[in-house]
Amino acid sequence: MSTALVTGASAGIGRAFALRLARQGSDLVLVARDRARLERMAAELRAQHGVQVEVLVADLSDRAQTEAVCRRLADPGRPVDLLVNNAGFGLRRSFLDNDVREEEAGLDVMVRAVLLTSHAAGRAMRERGRGAILNVSSVASFIANGTYSAEKAFVTVFSEGLASELAGTGVTVTALCPGFTRTEFHERARMRISALPEALWLDADVVVAQALADVAAGRVLSVPGAQWKVVTALVRAAPRPLVRGGAMRALDRFRRRG
C-alpha cells in the first residue's frame, strides 16, 4: 500500500486530495496547522476507508516546523510515495499595501517550504528508485500580477527543472496549475468572487482527479479544465507587455474587494 503526504490537508484542494487518495486506498500523512481539524479528518478517513492516517501538525511559515515535515519525508523506515505540496494562501491587497510580514509568510509557505520538502522527498525517492512529487501551482504562475504570481511562477519552473533532474530515476515531478477552483481559499483571503463568470470555475474534485491522472502519466504540467488550457496557451504565447497588463489582471479585479 502506498503512502501520500499532503500539506495544507485540512481544507480546500488539499482536503480533496486527501479524500480521493484515501478512497483509492492510500495511507496518508496529513500536514496542516489546525490539530483539531486534522484529527477529525483522520478519524473520518480511517473509519470510512480503513487506511492508516498520520497527523503531523506544522506551520510551514516556520523553518523548524517545516524541517520536521522534511524529516518525515526522508525517513527510510516509513517511505512516502507521493508528496502533495498544496499549502498556500492568498493576500487581498497589493504588495506595497500589504504588511511585509504577511508577504514574507507567503514566501516561506509557497516557496521555501516547497523547496525544502521537495529536496527531502526527491532525495529519498531517488534512492528508492520510485515516487512522485506534485507541487500545487496556479495558472497565475504564467502571468505577472503580484507576489502570488511570482511565488507560483517559482513553483512551476522549479518543478519543471526538478522533473528534468530526476528524469530516468523512477521519480516524477508534476506542477498542478489550476484556475479558479471552488474552495475556502477565496473566502479566507476575503476576495470577492461572485462576479466571476461561472464558466471559469473548476470543481476541486475534478482538479484532483485530473492532477492524479497526470501524475500517473508522468506529465510535468497539469492544467485541469479545457477553458484553462486555452487561457494558459494564450497567455504563454502572448507578448509579455500584454501579459503584464492584460486580461488576467482584469479578472483579478473581479475577485478583490474595494
Q: Per-residue pLDDT tens for 195-208?
A: 566 767 799 999 99
Of 239 and 169, the structure prediction assigns the larger pLDDT to 169
Among all chains, which residue has been given the C-alpha cell 500523512? Answer: 29
Q: Give me the pLDDT at residue 247, please.
A: 47
CA distance 84 to 32: 12
Domain of residue 52, CATH code: 3.40.50.720
> 209 is in which domain, residue-wise?
3-255
Cut 0.85: pTM above it = yes
Sheet of strand 3-7: strand arrangement: 53-57, 27-32, 3-7, 82-85, 131-136, 171-176, 221-222
Please identify every residue annotated as catalytic: 148
Q: How confident is the model at residue 55 (pLDDT cuts 50, 70, 90)?
A: very high
Q: Per-residue pLDDT tens for 172-187?
A: 999 999 988 876 544 5
CA distance 29 to 140: 28
Q: State how many domains the chain has.
A: 1
Does position 254 have pLDDT exceeding 70, yes or no? no
Q: Per-residue pLDDT tens for 63-84?
A: 999 999 999 999 999 999 999 9
